[in-house]
Chain A
Amino acid sequence: MDWQFLAFSLVKIIAAFAVVMTMVAYSVLVERKVSAFIQDRLGPNRTQPFFAKYIPGLGPLLTRWGVFQPIADGLKAFLKEDFTPAHVRKVYFWLAPAIAMVPSLLTVAVIPFGSMMGAQKMVIADLDVGILYTFGIVSLGVYGIVLAGYAANSKYPFLGGIRSTAQMISYEISMGLSVIPIFLLVGSLNLGDVVQHQTGGWFAWHIFRQPLGFFIFLIAAFAETNRLPFDLPEADQELVGGYHTEYSSIKFALFFMAEYAAMIAVSGMMVTLFFGGWTLPFLGLDQPAATLGMGLLHILVFLGKVCCFLLLIIWVRWMLPRFRYDQLMDLGWRRFIPLALLNIVVTAGVLALLASK
């Protein structure tokens, strides 16, 4: 264990954490803005710190875009009364928000968010079983919700928790099955190799080779992050918020942030698995960077792609109504799992044919 490795890892962890948290804060803002525009409103456009008035032009503009809103929201979340209802199971009640938050952050660790900066690979942990690790961690994410539902000790949160277990387990299966063809193609579980495999032209991207796998993954991702149209664990109208009904202040904010962090993690995975990670198939952008500038560019390319996916996920929330529970299960078990299995068999068959020639 040499110190250089430790130091660089620490820097990478802190940087990735900072970027993810900022993205969480601002994707909340984007969510509010996009929803407002879709619903013929303007969204947050008033919050401004006292000094913003005095910056000519820029200050009012930033205010109108709501740039200061996430800061105010965060501050509010910290300062609000942290109320613990008398009937909750205290230990779980305190544990659940943290458990909800951690998995999404851990997932980010194996996603290669850039190529090289100097001699450093731009990934926090270059695991050989990267994707398995992600799935393992993502599957732990359900505990936060289940525990929150159990801790609240009242009926709606409990129903939310129960719903989320069934939903997460169902869609984990189709999610896992949908990426197996990718690894048949790549021949490795390392996410860095997956990205390398997608270099050389647009059509090297796995979206063009595995469109079916991508769609299954995308929809399973919606279900795994509890986003509309699959937000049955929260279901504001039926379950008054589901598992986080009894939470307030910063504990609620943690659940909220966990949802967005999970969205970012899942977008990162989609970009890495299907959209070429940090590569772009022109200007030589698909080779590991030789200079610092190129390295930075790669990171920006990756973040740009992630943002596109975030926008998609946000947009869909304001577009589709919630699925009924039996429709959700039907879609997961009776449509996606058979389709994903078919996809695996076909891919394996084609690969075997190609190999035998």
Chain B
Amino acid sequence: MIVERKPLNLAERFYLPALGNGFRVTWKHFRKTLFHGRTAADETSGGYYPEVPWKVEPGYRGAPYLVRDQSGDTKCVSCQLCEFVCPPKAIRITPPGPGGPPADRANAEKMPREFEINMLRCIFCGLCQEVCPEEAIFLQKDYSLTGLTREEMVYNKERLLALGGHHTGIQKWKQKADEARAQESFPVPG
């Protein structure tokens, strides 16, 4: 759509109507909040953050955690793709090396000896989740991570797995296949 630009008249060239309207709109909101105590937060979610916790919507990208599969085994195979892709280099993986401990599950070759995410560095970009071939790492719903020291903010494998929980619904490649199928008929008919 092309909007016709009318030539400005003299008052508009000195920005006078803009001033008037600006004062009207801002005063309306100012009065509403100051004298009637109505805020946007009250109207949308019924209050402010610490008292009324924020409702995390699906699709939110919170802290990345490692997940276990339906039988409780570590899904990560220590391929180190996420370590490589992570833009702020928040992930550090220690691979098992030759002759290291075997993987939890039978159908995997190996699993990481140690897997650390520095939550102070992580920017919650979601690239690790995107790149992971095993669907072993997911950005979950935690958004307020706190700690008293820097060391405390480096989450190790144990902690990541405990926080990540089980993802029984997610089976290797099944979701990817579904996705691909969905994309084949992409501009949804109708």
Contact = CB atoms under 8 A, between A and B. Distances in A.
Q: Please tell me whether chains A and B touch each other in their complex, using a CB distance cut-off of 8 A.
A: yes
B52 interface: no
Contacts of B48: 42
Contacts, number: 41
A335 B8 CA distance: 15
Contact of A41 (B19, B25, B40): B40
A34 interface: yes
Given A34-B30, A335-B14, A40 B39 contact: yes
B41 A41 contact: yes
B117 to A, nearest CB: 24
B23 A38 contact: no
Nearest to A36: B33
A39 interface: yes
B18 A320 contact: yes
Contacts of B15: 320
Interface residues of B, number: 18
Contact of A38 (B14, B29, B38): B29
Interface string B16-27: 001100110110
B30 to A, nearest CB: 5
A40 B23 contact: no
Most A C-beta atoms less than 10 A away, residue of B23, B29, B30: B30
Interface string A184-195: 000000000000
Contact of A319 (B14, B23, B33, B38): B23
Interface in A1-56: 34, 36-42
A315 interface: yes
B26 A40 contact: no
Contacts of A318: 26
Contacts of B41: 40-42
B32 interface: yes
B23 A42 contact: no
A315 B26 contact: yes
B34 interface: yes
A96 B168 CA distance: 59
A315 B15 CA distance: 16
Nearest to A318: B26
Contact of B29 (A39, A42, A316, A320): A39
Most B C-beta atoms less than 10 A away, residue of A36, A37, A320: A37
Contacts of A39: 29, 40
Interface in B30-46: 30, 32-34, 38-41
Contacts of B30: 34, 37-38
Contacts of B38: 40
A120 to B, nearest CB: 40
Contact of A37 (B18, B19, B25, B34): B34
8 contacts: A36-B33, A38-B29, A40-B38, A40-B41, A42-B48, A315-B26, A319-B22, A320-B19
Interface of B: 14-15, 18-19, 22-23, 25-26, 29-30, 32-34, 38-41, 48
Interface of A: 34, 36-42, 315-316, 318-320, 335
Give the 5 A-B CB pairs with smallest separation, nearest first.
Answer: A40-B40, A319-B22, A37-B33, A37-B30, A38-B26
